[in-house]
Every structure is written in C-alpha cells, then in structure tokens.
C-alpha cells in the first residue's frame, strides 16, 4: 500500500480487470482455452497412436457405437468379429481369428480342483497367461496358487507369492480363479449389464460395453476379476491367434477381464488351458449336465467343498481331497 | 439499481455471468487460483486419458482409491443441504429461509464434484452412454450403482431447478408461485436422505467385503454427512457474512451448531458400535478393522490416519457441544473446520481402502495416491468451488436486490 | 392437509421397498440349494458328439479293456513310445549276449517304487518269461498298452478314480470320444513320484 510501485501495479491490474474490452477478451480467451482443453482431453482419450488410415478410423467409429454383445443378432456378431480382426491387422499387424461360437446346448461347465494332487508347479498359470494373451508388463494372472499350511482351508492363511522348489513337505497347494458362480454377485453389481452368465454357465464380460467402474471387482468375494489399468502388452510371437469375442481377444484399456473357462477352447470341445497344462492331473473339467462326466463322478464320490460357501454365490468350482 | 427495461431468461444468464466476472481484487485472485487449479486437474487427467488408470496408485486389490473416497464424502455434503431446507420449508423458520439458497448452491457444487469424481474414476468414460436407458443397457433395479446414477442426477436436477425457478422469479421482481415448487422441495427433502442411503448401499450390499457389509453403513453415512455438511455450510456462511453485505443472523449459526452437535454425537455413537462389534470378539471378518486401527504384518500406513481422524472428531464434537467461549466464532469456526476434515478422513480413505484390504484372498498392499490423483482431485475441487461461488454470488445478488 | 400427507409418503415408500426386498431375499434363499439339485436332476445322457467342432485326438490310442460310467473309452497307447520295444528282439530263450548290454539298454534304471529298502523289484511287474508283457500278481499277462490293469492291482483306489475321472486327465478334449492318459504317461513306473522342481512362474506383489 505504501510503495508507489505497488500502487501502480494495483491500478494497472484494476484497469485490466475492469475495462469492458478486457472482460470480453477474457471470456473469449477462457472459452477458447476450455474448448482447446476439452478437445485435447477427448483426443488423448480417443487414440493412443496416430490412426493409420481412414479405414481404421471408420472401423473404430463403428466399434464405438455398437450394441451390447448379448443384444446383437448373429450377423452383427460376425460383423464385429470381422471388424476386430481387421483392426488387429491395422494396429498390431497380426492375423487373428475372432470367433463367435455360441454356447453348446445342454452344457453347464463345472470344474474341480484336487488339493491332494496339486504340487504347486504353476504350469496352469503360465498356460493361462499364454492362452489368454494376458498382459506381460503387469504379470496379470487369472489363476493364483497358494502354498497352504495344513489346518486351514482359507487362502488368506497361505502364501500366494512363493517361489522355491515345490512341493514343500507338509504343505499343500490350492488354486483360485474366477469360479463362475451361478448366483454371481459381479453380474448383479454391473450397472450396464456388461458382464453376465452365459447359458452354458460361463460368466463373461463384453469388453467394449464395460465402462470400467470396477464395481464388479469390489463385489467379487474370490478375487476373480482383473482390470486393465493400462494397455496390455503381449510379445507378438506369443499371441494366441485363435480368439473369441468374449474370451482372449485383445482387451481395450480400462476394461474388466477374467477367466472365461477358455471359452475359445471349451466351446469347441477342448479342455481349458489350465486343465491341459496341469502335470499332475489335479484339475477336472466337464459338463455338469452329463451324468457320465468326470466332474459328476467327482461330485458324487469325493468329499467336495467350495470356497466361502456361506456367501451363497453357488460357484461352479469345487475343491476335493483324494 | 439500474432500470433495465427488458428482463428475460437471456439477460438472467448474461447478468449472472457479468456479476461473476466483476469483483474486488481478492475475488479476482480467488478466481484465478481456481482456474489454475482446474488447469492442473486437466493436465493431470491428460496423463490418465493417455496411459489409463495405471498412472494412479490403484491396483487389482485396492481397486477404488482417492477418487471414490472423495465421491463418497461429497455425496454426504450434498445431502446435508437438506438440513437447511428442512427447517426452512417444513418448519417455516424465517432465519433459515434466508440461507437455504446457499445450502442448495453448495449441494449443486458438491454433486457436480461427485459426478466428476465418478467420471475420472471410470476406465472407459467414453462408454458412459451405455448407462442411458433406451440407448444403452441400464441394470436397474439389480445394480445399486444404477440406483445411484438415478438418484444423484435426480437430486442434482431438483437442487438446480427449484432454486433456479425461485431466483429467476426474484430476478424478474415477482414472487415465485409456491404451489409450483413446494412439492418438489418436499421431494428433495426425502431425496436427500435417499442419495446418501443409496450411496451407502453401494458398499453395504457387497457380502464380499465384510468391513462394509453391516447394517450401520447407511445410518452412519447420514449421521456423518449431517455433521460435516452443516459444518462446511457454517464456514461458508461465516465467509459470506464477513466478506459480503449479505448479513446472516446469529441465530442461524446457533441452530446449525445444534444440528452439527447432534449429528456428530450420533456419528460417534455409531462409530463406537462398529468398534465394539469388530473388537469385542474379533473374527475373520474383523481383519479389515484390525488393519485400519492397528495395522497387520507391518502394513500400518492407515493407523495414524484413522487415529488422528477419530481424535479430532471427538475433540471437535466436544468443543462444539460444550461451547467454551460462549459462541465465540474464533472457537466454533475452527472446530467446524476440524470436524469437516476429520469426517472427510474417516469417511473417505478411512472407509474405502480398509474395505478392500486385505483382499478376498488375504493379501495386503499399501495404497498411496499418485500425483495424478492429487492433481485431478485439485482440479475437481476447484471446479466445485467455482460452481458454488458462481451460484451463491448470483443468488445473493438477486436476493439482496429482491429484498430491497 | 398437504403437509400431513407428505409425512406418510416416506414411511409408505420404505415399507413397500422393504416388502419387495424381503420377498426378493426369500426367493433367493429358496433357490439356494437348486444348483446341485438341478444338476443331479439331469439324468439324460449327454451326446458329446453334439459339440461339432471338437477335433479328435491324433495320438495313438487303444480301446480300454474296462468301462467307465459312460461306457467304453480309449487310452493313449504306450508301446510305441517305449524305445526298445519289442523286448523279445533281445530277450530270447537264450541269455542276452551283448557286450556291455546292461549299460547300453536299461541298466540305468533305478527302481524307486515303494518304501526305501523294501520297494519293488523288476519281476514284481515284468513277466519273467515273456518280456513283451507285464505280469500281475495273479500270473496273467498284461499288455504294456493296458498297464492300468497292473498298476490297479495295488493302486486300486487310484484306478477306480482314474476310471471315473477324478484321477488322471482327458487328452485335449472334454467333449467327443473320451481319451485319457494312461498311468505311465504321467508316472515313470520305475520312479512314479513327481520330482521336486521350481514352479513355472510366480506371482508378483502388486506394490
């Protein structure tokens, strides 16, 4: 207040702020800045890389406005699969086949895990990572194996991050993944119906429909769901090219994903990658509606239990002891 | 007052803009700071837009963090406007009638902040149109998030349109027609309770998270909201009283203090009830509370956080209740401020992170917000304050001129 | 009066809401047991050929000599994987006269089957007179492709489970013709226990 310099500065600022022309200028400037800011935001969201061609842009435009997969007609499903194949060629220069196999009639998939036979080799984990094109950068794993101390069957008492020679004497091993609950809390929680239970029992996610709110991840009691926090990276030579729309195709950033019982394999009659990879045969998979299946034999003759049974989620994944 | 010959909706908006661009030096500096805050937010968010949510501190275990914590707390602040509306319209309290418009302005600002926090927390915000029923798929009534979308937007409309109508009538120099807006005011009273109960049900309805899956969440949210919200409104009213010519009667502050004290005491009672349940006979379900209050296996980053929050909460409640200094604002206003911060700590990070830790398979990670999260939060906070300032400033100018 | 009616709206709405919630909860609880009941209620056989795209197993298989709950099934053949089969090419009536024969053929076999010191010996499984076959304790000849008949004599529980599907594994497919691994596919008969090894990978901590 005392120095003339301060006074001069103050008057200048007041002049600048109170002159009518500067108000208009300010509004102009502010609106231009706001428009530029929102355009920058939108642009950074729409593309990570520069689009190569008008063709690719058109494919992405169509992909953006498509329906929820469940509501699509078979033709629309084929169209979107084709678009995804062409986008994969444009963006990553790989040839993939995105399938749309519908569920097999009269099939309800069930899974059993033999905790006597599991030796903690984690071959299932590597097979799953490879088969489902999981992000290598963040070491995303659908399957977790826990080294357990006998006495409790709760994975929270076990060690999920062991790395030593297995099996350790007097310890047993237990694996978890999405259990494909019949009464899935994640399906109930999703605000846009982006995740649902297919007629053959597999709980799937439509990656393009998901808005990334992660409410389903909060609702899952089994740590079954994974989120694409960044864009997934898979080395080109390791990509599994036989894909399914609801399965192991390249997931967009900011979407939820999970074990799909290898939907790209099981709907063609093959075993999931984890079952096929297990060296000790600790994993059993089959059709619960087939009274002669192996899974029905296990349920009938073995002492089976499910995790967190008291929550009433009705998982289709049973543990048993030999 | 200039005799403007022709007033209409267009001049209403133009005048509103004009009034918010003019002002004292202090006001201009305040506005510039807010603009800088918003610019920081946009800059930080651009990283998130480019690289995804990996630039935040969240991961598959702590899948909700700083953004959702602030969202949860601010829904309470928005609901707390009802504590002004209730006395003003239900009990026809004349003192509150003068300040109710300020409460509604705060509610609108808080709601905009809530919706912004949700948008920045989403992994696919461009897919938000999938929520619109008809065009997208809306999982109503199964998903509580769908309910939350409905009630929050409904409350925003109620709290924006009703005061807008009243203000516009006052601006045009005529008395607003009570029969037109009174039903909506009563609707908004009940709606305020529902927005916070529904937000509480978001967490309460998850059996996967035993820390949240208890019946007290809804009532506890209401109690803490009605303590923190009016505390904030008290501070804002004090600022308005001291910096503008819109004078607010002492009685309003006294009544607000009563509301805050009662709500804060109920909140502390409920806190005690939760602590008893978790620690009298600890079960496996208590492990999140153990992590929060005592730490597990060396993971104790939240222990000082929660103990500070609870002690400050207790101290502020006692100060406000026993009123040492006999309504001295130098005692009561800081107490309100501290109570607000304490409730924010406990209802934000102190609720969301322990609910998610330990993970359903028993693993614990340490969560810390990154600069991106802090920057975006600053941006949204600036946005909220800007909106509240704009709304209150416009409202008070119109109200004062109407009173003349 | 208008105010009085408003006082009743909220309680009325909440009561209605609670009735709806309770009803929903009751229905959900009533459905609790239905998954296993629903599964057990299905008794019609499943036509596994209905999965059109299943690709048949390409490895050599034999028809198993026993049946499982779903009828007949196939087992992976074993003989073609044994390097020196047929054994009778060396083992004739006369003693084998190959220089350093023991080391060149299968003298490096260490039997680690059973308790230390009290384990099995060669002729516990191999037919002493006809080396192309195995011999069970009843004296019958067992083909190498059907070794399960031998293993199952002692390990009858595992064999029962293997027939049913709780032990061992199907080859490649869950649908189509049932082809399962034979005992020796996973267990080296001379040292059947799985060796200790390092896991194929590990889980990274998230922070």
**How far, in Å, CA of B101 to CA of A311, rounded?**
46
**Could you tell me which chain A residue has the CA closest to the CA of B49?**
A45
Does residue B147 surpass a pLDDT of 80?
yes
B151: closest CA of chain C, how far (Å): 15
C148: closest CA of chain B, how far (Å): 39
Determine which of C1, C5, C6, C23 to mutate to test the interface with B (most B C-beta atoms within 10 Å): C6
Determine which of B58, B65, B186, B363 to mutate to test the interface with C (most C C-beta atoms within 10 Å): B186
B166-185 pLDDT per residue, tens: 888 888 888 888 888 888 88
Determine which of C44, C72, C183, C200 to mutate to test the interface with A (most A C-beta atoms within 10 Å): C200
Residues of C in contact with B182 (CB under 8 A): 2
C89: closest CA of chain A, how far (Å): 33
User: pTM (2 decimals)?
Assistant: 0.89
Question: Which of the four pLDDT bands, split at 50, 70 and 90, describes residue A19?
Answer: very low
Yes or no, beta carbons of C207 and B60 under 8 Å apart: no
Q: Compute the mean pLDDT over every residue in chain A, rounded to the nearest whole number.
A: 88
Does residue B10 surpass a pLDDT of 90?
no
Identify the pLDDT of residue A1: 44
Identify the pLDDT of residue A83: 94
Measure Cα distances from B365 to B153, B353, C160 in Å. Answer: 34, 10, 45
Identify the pLDDT of residue C53: 84
Query: Comparing C-alpha atoms, which of A317, A267, A285 is closest to residue A103?
Result: A267
Query: Comparing C-alpha atoms, which of B257, B251, B175, B243 is closest to residue B396?
Result: B243
Question: Which of the four pLDDT bands, split at 50, 70 and 90, describes residue A120?
Answer: very high
List the beta strands (DSSP E) in A33-156.
Answer: 97-99, 109-114, 144-148
Q: Is A190 on the interface with B (CB under 8 A)?
A: yes
Q: What is the token pair recorded at B375?
A: 């920057």
Identify the pLDDT of residue A33: 58
Yes or no, beta carbons of B49 and A41 under 8 Å apart: yes
Q: Pick A223's closest partner by Cβ from B49, B146, B361.
A: B361
Does residue B224 surpass a pLDDT of 90?
yes
Q: Is B365 on the interface with C (CB under 8 A)?
A: yes
**How far, in Å, CA of B139 to CA of B146, rounded?**
6
Say what the ipTM of the complex is. 0.92
pLDDT averages per 10-residue partition of chain C, 207 residues: 62 76 69 74 82 88 93 93 82 72 73 88 89 91 94 95 95 93 93 93 86
Mean pLDDT (whole number) for A270-274: 96
Residues of A in contact with C28 (CB under 8 A): 183, 312
Does residue A64 surpass a pLDDT of 50?
yes
Yes or no, beta carbons of A229 and B52 under 8 Å apart: yes
Determine which of B17, B62, B208, B355 to mutate to test the interface with A (most A C-beta atoms within 10 Å): B208
Q: Is A18 on the interface with B (CB under 8 A)?
A: yes
Residues of B in contact with C9 (CB under 8 A): 190
A123-162 pLDDT per residue, tens: 999 999 999 999 999 999 999 999 999 999 999 999 999 9
**Could you tell me which chain B residue has the CA closest to the CA of A14?**
B25
Query: Comparing C-alpha atoms, which of B157, B193, B196, B191 is closest to residue B72?
Result: B196
B23-34 pLDDT per residue, tens: 888 889 999 999
Residues of C in contact with A270 (CB under 8 A): 54-55, 172-174
A280: closest CA of chain C, how far (Å): 7
Helix (H) or strand (E) holding A172: strand A172-176
**Strand C134-135 to strand C74-76: parallel, antiparallel, or no bridges (unpaired)?**
unpaired
Q: Which of residues 71-110 of B touch C (CB under 8 A)?
A: 90
Identify the pLDDT of residue C10: 65
Identify the pLDDT of residue A180: 96
**How far, in Å, CA of B228 to CA of B249, rounded?**
21
Three-state SS at A315: coil
Does residue A9 surpass a pLDDT of 50?
no
Does residue A16 surpass a pLDDT of 60?
no
Measure Cα distances from C37 to A114, A289, C33 in Å. Answer: 23, 11, 6
Whether A226 contacts A142, CB under 8 Å: yes
Query: Comparing C-alpha atoms, which of C87, C20, A110, A186 is closest to residue B207?
Result: A186
Does residue B331 surpass a pLDDT of 80?
yes
Residues of C in contact with B186 (CB under 8 A): 6
Identify the pLDDT of residue A204: 97
List the subunits that have 3+ CB pairs under 8 angstroms with C. A, B
B95-106 pLDDT per residue, tens: 888 889 899 999
Backbone φ and ψ of A26, nearest 5°: -60, -45
B366: closest CA of chain C, how far (Å): 7
List the subunits that have 3+ CB pairs under 8 angstroms with A. B, C
Residues of A in contact with C42 (CB under 8 A): 288-289, 291
Q: Which of A10-14, B97-101, B391-395 has the lowest mean pLDDT?
A: A10-14
A193-238 pLDDT per residue, tens: 999 999 999 999 999 999 999 999 999 999 999 999 999 999 999 9
Cβ count within 10 A of residue C87: 17
Q: Is C9 on the interface with B (CB under 8 A)?
A: yes
Q: Which of residues 138-197 of C touch A (CB under 8 A)?
A: 157, 161, 164-170, 172-176, 181, 186, 194, 196-197
**Could you tell me which chain C residue has the CA closest to the CA of B62?**
C206
**Could you tell me which chain C residue has the CA closest to the CA of A276?**
C172
């Amino acid at each position: 207040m005392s120095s003339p310099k301060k006074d001069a500065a103050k008057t200048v600022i007041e002049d600048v702020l109170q002159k009518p022309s500067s108000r208009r200028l300010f509004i102009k400037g502010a609106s231009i800045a706001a428009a530029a800011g929102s355009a920058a935001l939108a642009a950074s969201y729409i593309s990570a890389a520069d689009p190569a061609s008008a063709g690719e842009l058109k494919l992405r435009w169509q992909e953006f406005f498509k329906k929820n997969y469940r509501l699509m007609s078979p033709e629309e499903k084929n169209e979107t699969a084709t678009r995804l194949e062409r986008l994969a060629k444009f963006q990553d220069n790989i040839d993939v086949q995105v399938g749309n196999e519908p569920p097999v009639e009269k099939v309800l998939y069930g899974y059993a895990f033999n905790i006597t036979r599991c030796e903690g080799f984690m071959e299932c984990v590597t097979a799953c990572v490879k088969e489902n094109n999981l992000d290598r950068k963040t070491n995303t794993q659908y399957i977790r194996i826990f080294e357990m101390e006998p006495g409790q069957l709760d994975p929270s008492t076990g060690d999920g991050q062991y790395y030593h020679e297995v099996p350790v004497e007097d310890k047993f091993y237990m694996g978890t993944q999405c259990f494909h609950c019949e009464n899935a809390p994640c399906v109930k929680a999703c605000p846009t119906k982006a995740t649902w239970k297919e007629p053959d029992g597999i709980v799937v996610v439509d990656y393009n429909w998901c808005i990334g709110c992660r409410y389903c991840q909060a609702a899952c009691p089994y740590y079954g769901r994974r989120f694409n926090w960044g864009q997934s990276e898979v080395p080109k030579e390791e990509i599994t090219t036989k894909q399914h729309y609801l399965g192991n195709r390249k997931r967009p950033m900011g979407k939820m994903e999970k074990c799909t019982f290898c939907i790209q394999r099981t709907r063609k009659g093959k075993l999931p990658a984890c079952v096929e990879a297990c060296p000790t045969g600790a994993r059993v998979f089959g059709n619960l509606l087939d009274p002669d299946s192996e899974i029905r034999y296990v349920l009938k003759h073995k002492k089976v239990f499910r995790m967190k049974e008291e929550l009433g989620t009705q998982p289709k994944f049973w543990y048993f002891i030999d | 007052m200039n005799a403007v010959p022709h007033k209409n909706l267009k001049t209403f908006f133009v005048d509103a803009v004009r009034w918010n661009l003019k002002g004292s030096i202090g006001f201009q500096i305040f506005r510039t700071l807010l603009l800088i805050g918003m610019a920081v937010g946009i800059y930080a968010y651009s990283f998130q837009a480019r690289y995804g949510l990996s630039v935040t501190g969240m991961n598959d275990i702590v899948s909700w963090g700083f953004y959702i914590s602030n969202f949860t707390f601010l829904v309470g602040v928005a609901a707390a406007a009802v504590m002004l509306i209730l006395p003003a319209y239900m009990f026809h309290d004349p003192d509150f009638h003068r300040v109710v418009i300020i409460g509604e302005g705060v509610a609108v600002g808080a709601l905009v902040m809530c919706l912004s926090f949700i948008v920045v927390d989403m992994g696919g915000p461009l897919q938000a149109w999938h929520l619109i029923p008809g065009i997208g798929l809306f999982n109503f009534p199964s998903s509580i998030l769908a309910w939350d979308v409905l009630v929050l937007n409904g409350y925003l409309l109620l709290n924006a349109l009703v005061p807008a109508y009243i203000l516009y009538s006052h601006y045009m120099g005529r008395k607003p027609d009570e029969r037109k807006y009174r039903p909506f005011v009563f609707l908004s009273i009940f709606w305020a309770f529902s927005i916070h109960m529904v937000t509480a049900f978001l967490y309460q309805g998850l059996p996967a998270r035993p820390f949240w899956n208890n019946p007290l969440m809804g009532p506890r949210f209401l109690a803490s909201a009605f303590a923190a919200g009016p505390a904030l409104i008290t501070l804002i009213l004090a600022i308005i009283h001291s910096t503008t010519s819109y004078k607010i009667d002492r009685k309003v502050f006294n009544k607000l203090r009563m509301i805050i004290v009662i709500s804060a005491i109920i909140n502390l009672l409920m806190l005690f009830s939760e602590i008893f349940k978790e620690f009298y006979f600890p079960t496996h379900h208590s492990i999140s509370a153990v992590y929060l209050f005592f730490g597990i296996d060396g993971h104790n980053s939240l222990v000082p956080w929660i103990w500070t929050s609870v002690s400050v909460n207790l101290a502020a409640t006692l100060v406000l209740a026993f009123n040492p200094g006999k309504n001295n604002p130098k005692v009561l206003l800081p107490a309100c401020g501290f109570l607000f911060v304490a409730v924010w700590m406990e209802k934000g990070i102190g609720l969301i992170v322990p609910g998610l830790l330990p993970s359903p398979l028993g693993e614990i990670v340490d969560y810390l917000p990154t600069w991106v999260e802090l920057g975006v939060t600053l941006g949204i906070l600036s946005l909220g304050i800007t909106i509240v300032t704009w709304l209150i400033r416009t409202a008070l100018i119109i109200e004062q001129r109407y009173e003349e | 009066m208008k105010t009085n009616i408003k006082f009743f709206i909220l309680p009325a709405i909440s009561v209605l809401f609670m009735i709806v919630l309770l009803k929903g909860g009751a229905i959900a609880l009533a459905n609790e047991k239905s998954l296993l009941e629903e599964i057990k209620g299905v008794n019609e056989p499943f036509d596994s050929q209905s999965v059109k795209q299943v690709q048949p197993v390409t490895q050599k298989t034999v028809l198993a000599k026993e049946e499982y709950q779903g009828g007949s099934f196939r087992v992976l053949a074993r003989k073609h994987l044994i390097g020196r089969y047929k054994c009778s090419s060396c083992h004739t009536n006369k003693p084998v006269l190959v220089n350093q024969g023991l080391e060149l053929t299968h003298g490096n076999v260490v039997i680690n089957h059973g308790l230390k010191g009290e384990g099995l010996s060669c002729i516990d499984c191999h037919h002493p007179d006809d080396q192309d076959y195995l011999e069970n304790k009843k004296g019958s000849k067992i083909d190498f492709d059907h070794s399960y008949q031998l293993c199952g004599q002692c390990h009858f529980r595992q064999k029962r489970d293997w027939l049913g599907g709780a032990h061992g594994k199907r080859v490649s497919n869950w649908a189509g013709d049932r082809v399962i691994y034979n005992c020796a596919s996973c267990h080296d008969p001379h040292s059947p226990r799985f060796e200790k090894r390092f896991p194929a990978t590990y889980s990274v901590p998230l922070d």
